[in-house]
Amino acid sequence: MSKIKKKRVGFVLDMTPLVDITFLLLTFFMFTAKFKNEADNQQKFVIKRPQTQADTAKLPEKDLVTIKIGIDTVSKDTAYYLSMLNEQDVASLADAMQRINFPGANPESVVYKISDSLWLGKIIERARIVNPKARFALDADRRVKYRYIEVAINEMRKKRATTFNFVTEKKTGGL
């Protein structure tokens, strides 16, 4: 009883360490965040990737040509969607596609929707010319019929793109 209880009026807490850590985390998440690019925004389908075990490699972050094979959620038809990753490649490809009169090609084109193998072959050829170093990635839905994959592989093979990647997803749980 000898100590007089201090009245807690205008209680102040030192928030500096809290702010420090919060800013640290904030910067971390800000730098690691990856935003959807233009190609993803125009996508009208969801890709359920095939699941594999964890022994596979990571997707390259540049010099990449992605061929998505998806089933449209509305019309249920399968089509190829080709896009390039590097910004200068996107512009060069748009230019090249206009020159060969690809239907709907304009200087702002990012994704090219293709439904037949003839155009697929042509666009793969252009993509190869635009960036010969670029690797091909096949990002297909696991429900897609193998026929479509075979066509894409054959077209790539004809254009001498003999090494390519299948985009997969790590199997969660189980085996």
Q: How far apart are CA 152 and CA 67, in angstroms?
A: 9
Question: Going by C-beta distance under 8 Å and a sequence separation of 6 or more, which residues neighbour residue 83?
Answer: 39, 65, 66, 68, 90, 110, 111, 112
Nearer of residues 89 and 139 to other proteins, judged by Cβ:
139
Site string for other proteins, 61-80 (x = CB under 8 A): --------x-----------
Nearer of residues 64 and 114 to other proteins, judged by Cβ:
64
Could you tell me which stretch among 85-93, 116-124, 126-134, 162-170 binds other proteins (CB under 8 A)? 162-170
Per CB under 8 A, contacts with other proteins among 2-31 are 12, 15-16, 18-19, 22-23, 25-26, 29-30
Contact residue for other proteins among 2, 5, 32, 118 (CB under 8 A): 32
**Contact predicate 137/64, CB 8 Å:** yes
Rg of the chain (C-alpha set)? 25
Positive or negative torsion for Cα 63, 69, 72, 73: negative
Could you tell me which stretch among 91-99, 113-121, 122-130, 138-146 binds other proteins (CB under 8 A)? 138-146
Structure letter (DSSP) for residue 172: P
Nearer of residues 45 and 164 to other proteins, judged by Cβ:
164
* CA atoms lying within 13 Å on the CB side of residue 165: 18
Name the residues that contact other proteins, by CB under 8 A.
12, 15-16, 18-19, 22-23, 25-26, 29-30, 32-34, 48-59, 69, 137, 139-150, 153, 156-158, 160, 162-170
